[in-house]
Each structure stands twice: as C-alpha cells, then as structure tokens.
A and B are shown apart, each in its own frame.
Chain A
Amino acid sequence: MRKKIIKELQDMPKFVYVLAVLVVFGAIVGLYRLYAGLGATTNLSKAYPWGIWISFDLSTVALSGGAFTLAALVYVFHMHNLHAAVRPTVLAGLLGYTSVLIILFMDLGRWDRAYHFLIYPNVNSALFEVSWCIALYSSILVYELSPVLLANTRWKGIIPVLEKYTIPMVIAGVSLSTLHQSSLGTLFIVMSERLHPLWQSMLLPVFFLISSLASGLALIIAGASISRWVFKRSLPQNLIAKLGWFLPWVLGVYLVLKLGELEVMGELHLLLNSGRYSVLFMLEIIVGMVIPIIMFSSKRVRHDRTASMIGAFFVMFGVVLNRFDASWFAIQPIPGVEPYSPHWMEVAILIGVASGVFLAYTLIGRYFPLFDETMVVESKRKETAVNPQLTASEIGVAE
C-alpha cells in the first residue's frame, strides 16, 4: 500500500506539487484570517466593503455557468451528442461553486454566523436569494456528479436510482441557475449611483444571465483544450464547433440589449467620454464580444481547435472583466479616499482556493471515471473514437 502511494506520488506531474503548496499556504493564511478578522487581513474598508473576493466569486459563478448551460443542452434540448462533456463540465462547475462558497465564507465578517441565511430570511434581499440558490444548486451539482464519485465505491448500487431522477434535478438546477446568475446582477441595482451608469441598469439580471450563458459555452470550449493538454482526452472538434455556433447569437443578443438600453436611457454618450470607465467598457465589448462574434461566425475558426480556444478565452475574459467591473473597477470612488487594492493575504487565499480547484480537478480526473465517454488522444493529429456507440454519422454531425 505505501509503495503504491509513493509510486503514485512520483508519477504525478510536477505542477501538482506546486498547487499543493499553494493550497496549504492559502489554507494557513485563511485560518489566520478567520482568527484575526477582516480588518487585519484585508484592505476592505467602509468605502470599499467588497473587494477581490467578491469579484472572484462573481466571475467563478459566471464561468461555472457552463455546467447548467451544458446540462440544459444535453438533457432538456436532447443534444445527446454533447453528453461526453457533461461530467467534466459538471465537475468544473461543482469545484467552481465550492471555491465560491469557501471564499464567501472567508469574506463574511461574521463567519461564525454563516448559517444565519438559512434561518433568517429577507425575501427582498437579492443576496439572501443568491445564497439559497447557490446552496441548493451546489447540492444538485453534487447529485449530478454522484455517479462519478460513487462509481468505484460500495454504494454504486444506488447509481441507477439516482440516474432515474436526473431530468427533474437538471430542470431544477437550470431553473436555479437562471435565478442566481441573474440575481447576481440584481445585487447591484440597490447600489444605484455608486455603480457607474455604463453598468448600472434595471436590466442587470438579464445581462448577467446572458453573459453567463456565453461564458458557460466558452468554458466548455476552452475546457476541452485544457483537458486535452492535461489528461490527453478531449471532445471531437465537431461538437466544439456546434457549441461555438451558438456563441455569436448569445453575444449578439447581449450586445443589442446593452447598447439599446444605454441609448434608451440616454447614456450612450458616456461610452466615449468616461475616461477609464470607457476603456473598461470597450474592452468588455470589443475583446469579449465583438471579436468573438466575428471569430465564431467563421466555420473555419469553429473547426480549428486553437482558434476556437482563443475565441473562448476572449469571451471568458470579457465576462470576467464585466464581473470585476461591476463589483470593483466601476464602483465610483469616494473623493479623498484611496481606492481599494487587495491585501496580499486576500490574494494568497484566493490563489490557494483556485489552486485547490485545479488540484482537485486533476486528482479526480486521474482517479475517477470522468472521461470514459470521451475520446483518447493517441497522437497529435489522429483522433480515434473509443466508444463504439458513437456512430460515424454522429461524429460527422451535420453542419
């Protein structure tokens, strides 16, 4: 047994050790934060009560939207040819949400009372609703992933029972996701003028929802490339192309709604004369939307592994920037008060948690049946189907 463990450790790719060190360090700093309080370990202040942790949470939830997007496409819209990507994406989503919950816990001034949201409701509060949705949705993600986690254990007998209720759980999960992805946008409505008008809007929930769809799709596309590099397994490019086909439509709707709303509110002129806010906004629009729209409209890009990955990263960048803008960069400063920049401990904890996500993903991918239905990449150029049930007609999905 010991020999086996040592051999496993020796076989690990080296970056796993780096991640482990970062996780341990982050955990130590995290424990200290819980002990010493926010004042001693963060640069949060009355002028800037939310910082990089909240921005991270918002971004991670948006990116983890891949899980609900994919579940909807596969189970509700019956696109079963995408089924291969479900498990890895749901795992990514679950780990993403877990990291969000950990960071949220770190962020609570009174972490000793974290459970209060369960017993003290305020139905008017967007944050109350978000907390419940995320808690419930995380449970559903666990449920969806349980076949993977239980596959090699002695409880694997209940897997068929669990799988029987997949559809209702997925529908509940997608509904919950729709709710909290949009409610994270609703959060900012009560802040009125404190959030720059280029972002502030009564349509914030719609904007956040649509962009989470886009970032979800992008995550799946980008995730395919990453898992190819790390696990030597991936999806066939045709499936990736199919997902990429949706992107320009989703981004297009967002763009029309966003610019249209600015025009209706008479705020369009702010686009160009808001100084650094204009720069941030244009970055979101151009890098995060316009360029990917152009790219993914091209069949060649969609079928090119590298190009579609780059396009996906642009989309993810745009959405993450949007979340950081809404929660940090576009929050109007208070005159005379130094703007917020994170304390090193905030960053250390964040890196620790993010490393933990990658570490967990790597280890689970290594030891659990995450990729049974996906292809193995044998060589750089050839891709061979392993699963005999994927017929030729399904691989060559109609364009």
Chain B
Amino acid sequence: MTNFTVSRRDFLKMSGATVGALVVGQMLPISLAKAAQEAGLLDENMTGHISTMCEMCVWRCGLIAKIVEGKVVKLDGNPDHPHSRGKLCPRGQSGLMNTYDPDRVLTPLIRVGKRGEGKFRPASWDEALDLVASKMQGIKEKYGPEAMVFSSTHNLSQVQFENLLNAYGSPNYGTQRSLCFNAMIVGNLMTYGMEEPARDYSDAEYIILTGRNLMEAVSTSETGDLTMAMDRGAKMVYLDPRFTKTAAKADLWLPIKPGTDLAFHLALLHVIIKEKLYDRAFVNANTVGFEQLETTVAPYTPDWAAGITELKATDIETVARDFAAAGSKALAHNGWRTSNFENSFQTARAIASLNALVGNWGTTMLPASGGHGGEGLGMPPQPPYPRASARRLDGVPWKYPLVPFKLGVFQELRDAMLTGDPYQAHGWFISRQNPVQSLPDRTRTLEAMGKMDFIVSVDIFLNDTSWFADVVLPESSYLERYDPLSQVGNRVFIRQPVIEPQGDAKSALWIYKHLGERLGLGDYFQYEDEEDFLRQQLEPTGVSLEEIRKKGYLDLAAPEHGEEPDIFHFNTASGKVELFSNVLDGAGFDGCADWEEPPMPENGRFYLLTGKVAQHTQFATQNNQLLNKYQDEPRLWINTKSAEKLLLKDFDLVRVTSDVGQINIMVNVTEAIRPDCVYMTPGFGHISKGFTTGYGVGASDSVLHVTYTDPISGGQALTQTFVTVQGI
C-alpha cells in the first residue's frame, strides 16, 4: 500500500462493505481496570505501564500497555519476554482496535430467529448459563456425555477448557492442531520423542525453510532471529511454489512443485548418506536405524527428485552438500505442515532425520522449553475425572492409532458429527474458535452444525460459527482479563487486565467455573475468581500475585539437583533419535521416512495453495479496521502465463470451482507463483454480519477445500484440493 492510494472511499468501492466510522483516535475511553489501580501499577495521575500478554496469535508475545491518565493509548513489546523482545508484529500493534472493535459482543445472546439469520436477544449471564447448562445436562442424560462435542483453539485457558470437558465426561475434543501441525508434531514425536524441539539461530550458518514463510507468518522473535542470522552471513534456502516475502530474502528460492517437498528431502538424505557427509560420531552415539534409512533412501537420487520436484538436480546436490558442510550449525526447519499434503508427515520425518544426520542437536536444535502451565506451578485441587467410556468420534485411536489424544483429528470429528457414524453427536461447545471458517469444506461444516440440537459459542465477536449458534457467551478480550499463567522456559508470565471488561463480558476462567457449577461440576473449579486461581498457581513459587503483576513475570528457581539434564536422552523407546521407528513399523507404516506419491491435478486444474500474511491471523482478524486498512486486497494469485491462457487480466472476476464448492474472486495476475498453482490468503469471505468490516471482503477458501486426512498423523491436506478457474 503506497502513500498515494490510501482512501477509505476507494476501499468502499472495492469491497462493497460498510466500514465502521471508527477513527483510531476516537476509541472509546475505557475505564482502567480497578484492579490495576489498586495494585499500584499506576501513579497518582493514572499513568503508567502494565505488563501482560498478546493474544492476536499463538506466539503470545509479552507486551506492555501504556496508560496515560487512565486511558490505554499504546501497546509495545515487552523487552523481557523471549517471544517479543520488545517488538510487536502488526497484529500485536492492532490489539487496541481488537478490544475496542465496535462489533464486540458485550452481552450473552440467545438466538430467537432461525439458525443463520443472526437474530439474537440479549440475556443475563444467569439466564444464558442456566440455559446452556440445562441443554448440556439434557444431552448428557439422554445421549451420554460423548454426545457433547467440545472444541477450542489453543489458548492460555485451554487447561480449564479441558478441565470442563473432562469433568463433563466427553471424550470428543476438537482443537485446531490437526488443521495445523499434526504432521510436524507426530513426525518429531516419532523421531525425537518430543513435540517440537526448540531452534537456536545464534550459531546457525545454513538454514532450510520448507514452506515456513517466516517473513509473513511472523513469529516476532523467530523472524528477528532469522534476520539476524542472515545478517551474520547465514545462508537461507526456501522451498515454496510461491515467491513470498521469505523467498525475496532467501539466498536460494526453490519453486518446488506442491506435494513434492518429500522427494527433495529424501534426495538430500540420499546425497548426505551416499557421499558420507553426515556426522558419523553423532549418528553412532545418538541414533538408531541408520542402516534402514540408508537402504530406504538409496533409490532417491537427485535426478529422481529433480524430475518429481521440477527443480534442478544440481541445486539439490548443492543444498545437500552445503547443508552437511555446515554440520552442527545447519538447521532444517520442521515447519508446521510443509506442503500441506498427506505425505507431509513423511516430509516431517525426513526433515527430522536430516537434522539428526548433521548432528545439530545441542547447537541449532535443543529440547523444547516449558509449556504454558508447566512444572513448578500449582493448581487448584480437584477430584479425578470420570472415565470416558465411549469412543472418540475423531477416530483416535481406533482409526488413527498413532495420533496423540491431545492432537486429535478435528476434521474427522466434524465428519462424524455429520454422518452420525459411529454415533450421533447432539451438542457442540465451541470456545475461542471459528470452525465454520477453519475446517475444510465449509458447506459440510454447516451441514454438520445442522445436525446439532444445541450449539454454544464463546467468543469476543459474533464470528461465523457464533452466527449459527444458539447461545453466544461473550468472553472479555485479552486486554480485559486474567488467564492462567504462561511458562516460557524458566520464566512465568502473567496476563492481567489492563482495562475493565466492556459491557458484560467475562473471562474464560469465570465462564467455565460458573458453567461448571451449574453442571454440578463445581468441585473441578475450586477457585473463587481469577485472582484466587492465580494465587493457587503461584503458591509453590513463593511469589505473590502483587509481585508478579508489578514485574510482569517471575523466574522459577533452577532445579535443585546439581547436574544438568542430559539433553542427549530422548523420550523414545530406544532413548535415542529414531531414524527407524518401531512404533511406525509396528503400526504398519514405513519405519523410516519414505516416498509417498502425492496426487496431482489434471485437465487444466490448478493446485489451490494457502498461506499466511503478516497482517492477519488465520480467520480471526479480518474485522480489525487497522489491519483491514493496511492489508493487501485478498485476490486469487495466478501466474501471468496461466492467466493469458484463460484470457484473464489483472482484477478480472473469476469463478473458482473445486470438488466441493465454488467461489467468485478477483484475480491478481503475477509472476510470483508457479503456473500450475493458484493461491488464496485464507480467512476472508466471512459470512457473519456481525463482522461489519470483514463481512463479504474477499472469498473463503474453506468453501473449496476437500477434506483429506493423513492416516498416520491425522493432519489435514489442504493443498490436495485442485480447482478450475474461469473468467466470469
């Protein structure tokens, strides 16, 4: 966006949506959190800083809110938080607009019209919670607790969400994980025995990114780390069918054919093993299965891979040799789901094996830092959970034996809700999630919702899922609430209210507790309020709530036993890095990373690529007026030559059709994409009129996505959706 094309009028013409007249400077003057004032965080002029945490994406940067005379005026990165180090990405900077969005839902809503009409009436919390509890109780009594599906996208209150569903007794737990990184997690679990090793760029000299578009899918500190590494002379190789902003920074951009990342990495393994470029000492000491890997990758020559990937064999060889030459200072980033195909699991396995071969464990790869509610913190007491006897609807583990319970297969869960196989679900409790937009095949999701007797949504907006719900419970925004403490490494951070919740909005901790109580599950929520919960968390640390609020964090005491934990002990069956996995082998899958042929489009169809932009977080931020102002218009990317063949010009309107749906969208004719691919930025095309800024802007790619699931990791495979494009 240049300085000459900023005009709200132009934007109105393009999108046809009405933009709220909110001017940034006219944000509602919200009263400061009373708690903040009482805790002495501000001076007598009601001016000061409050430390809390962002929630505009899962990176959860620490931030410092600046308050001037009782008004929150700015958010800045917290220099003490390792994920931000004083910086914030554009979404983090737009946080005030998120909290002050005029479309915020501020009272509980109960549906009065038909589902999808968007007709709700405001209700008190008592009435709403009573209704939800009675419906949930009714479903439990009539169909069993398994008939109630719970789904939420990972957040700091996840622990209490899981507490609710476990106490309720339902095994049916959906998260975004299978839509995102199942391939990577399961790949790492099978190889390293941990979900995701940490990456350290400070010594990195050669980095391979497989689709991890770090310059657009910004994770503040990691994007900064990569930039600094490259400043110090590190080389970066980037695989992507699209010329993204990361490609523009790469030393070598490889415009790889979609679905073939696996071939590339198998060829790297082949070259490194054949030319004996691997770290022999490390491999001998810390891995098992080398011989099997050697046999497996023997046929995967660079020439073979070149034919499949449509890259040059010489490039593949060069990358293999340069990567291995960097030795422990090389890093192959495991990404989230690389090419987003069913074979992405094998790619994750191959990447993990690649890292093991060069022996970078302890240098560029390290054991992961602590989770968000990790060791060293307390918890309120609670009785044990009832046993959930029913099978999970998402096929774990009976259809997907290797998918961890924690990850699940969300798209399978949705399918089961539609088909009623193995049994029919009747209710859906959704918290901080928009499955209507995030699950592949939006039409199918809406059909599945049609089968539910009762749907309740917890969110700060009337998102596309809440639009179809029966009850909407307004959560307070992240600037308005407490959440359970967040642990990063040895440091524990607090999220605390900067302003009073607007309207009647309440925190998730409050909602789950009060709902739980009405469900007769009060014993599982043994805290008075949010502050009491936090105090119980803090108890073992000896730090008071007031102290951590003032500082924003506390450092946990180092472990008392004198010795360092052995980072070369891996949580696998063998205790070592498993280049060959008995677990995989025993389950009937390939023991080593192995080739799986991906499907390919024919008859003039295109691969439908998806990706990220720095200005948005998946499906959640398109209503934010500041991000909307600075975004690129969401159009379908298509290569110049492909566009010519279809007689298309820039900005023409086209119909895009997949096996399950079709959309209309304007094209962006560009050189920056392979001729056999088209690309849409996900998250647009909202259908909830509760998004006055976002409604109708762009189109939704979930309408087009066909549901494919990798049988090993349960990850979805979005780019296996192929589409036709026609001018209108």
Contact = CB atoms under 8 A, between A and B. Distances in A.
- Asked if A and B bind, the verdict is yes
Interface of A: 39, 45-47, 334, 336-337
B2 A46 contact: no
A39 B10 CA distance: 12
Contact of A336 (B2, B7, B9): B2
13 contacts: A39-B9, A45-B4, A45-B7, A46-B3, A46-B4, A46-B6, A47-B4, A334-B4, A336-B2, A336-B4, A336-B5, A337-B4, A337-B5
Contacts of B3: 46
Contacts of A47: 4
A160 B281 CA distance: 115
A39 B3 CA distance: 16
Nearest to B5: A337
A337 B3 CA distance: 11
Nearest to B2: A336
Given A45-B7, A336-B4, A337-B4, 10 more contacts: A39-B9, A45-B4, A46-B3, A46-B4, A46-B6, A47-B4, A334-B4, A336-B2, A336-B5, A337-B5
B99 to A, nearest CB: 29
Nearest to A335: B4
A46 B10 CA distance: 14
- By DSSP majority rule, is chain B's interface helix, strand, loop, or mixed? loop
B9 to A, nearest CB: 8
A39 B12 CA distance: 14
A47 B4 CA distance: 6
A46 B9 CA distance: 14
Nearest to B6: A46
Nearest to B3: A46
Contacts of B5: 336-337
A337 B2 CA distance: 10
A45 B9 CA distance: 12
A45 B5 CA distance: 9
Nearest to B9: A39
Interface bracket on B: under 10
Interface in B3-48: 3-7, 9
A336 B650 CA distance: 14
- By DSSP majority rule, is chain A's interface helix, strand, loop, or mixed? loop
Contacts of A334: 4
A334 B5 CA distance: 11
Nearest to A39: B9
Instruction: Give the 4 A-B residue pairs with the shortest CB-CB distance, closest first.
Output: A337-B4, A47-B4, A334-B4, A46-B4
A337 B5 CA distance: 8
A119 B6 CA distance: 33
Contacts of A337: 4-5
A188 B158 CA distance: 64
B711 to A, nearest CB: 50
Contacts of A336: 2, 4-5
A47 to B, nearest CB: 5
A99 to B, nearest CB: 30
Nearest to A40: B9
Contacts of B7: 45
B693 to A, nearest CB: 20
A337 B4 CA distance: 7
Interface in B174-193: none
Contacts of A46: 3-4, 6
A46 B3 CA distance: 8
B421 to A, nearest CB: 55
Contacts of B9: 39
A344 B173 CA distance: 61
Contacts of B4: 45-47, 334, 336-337
A52 to B, nearest CB: 20
A45 B7 CA distance: 9
A334 B4 CA distance: 8
A39 B7 CA distance: 10
A47 B3 CA distance: 9
A297 to B, nearest CB: 48
Nearest to B7: A45
A176 B556 CA distance: 79
A47 B5 CA distance: 9
Contacts of B6: 46
B82 to A, nearest CB: 41
A214 B3 CA distance: 41
B79 to A, nearest CB: 36
B629 to A, nearest CB: 15
Nearest to B8: A39
Nearest to A48: B4
Contacts of B2: 336
A333 to B, nearest CB: 10
Contacts of A39: 9
B7 to A, nearest CB: 8
A287 B6 CA distance: 40
A116 B2 CA distance: 32
Interface in B78-126: none
A45 B3 CA distance: 11
Nearest to A47: B4
B12 to A, nearest CB: 13
Contacts of A45: 4, 7
Q: Which of B2, B3, B4 has the most CB of A within 10 A?
A: B4
Interface in B233-257: none
A295 to B, nearest CB: 44
B576 to A, nearest CB: 58
A47 B6 CA distance: 11
A304 B9 CA distance: 55
A347 B5 CA distance: 24
B2 to A, nearest CB: 7
A277 to B, nearest CB: 21
A37 to B, nearest CB: 12
B21 to A, nearest CB: 14
Interface in B100-155: none
B507 to A, nearest CB: 42
A39 to B, nearest CB: 8
A139 B461 CA distance: 62
A46 B2 CA distance: 11
B165 to A, nearest CB: 53
A47 B9 CA distance: 15
A146 B630 CA distance: 58
A45 B4 CA distance: 8
A396 to B, nearest CB: 63
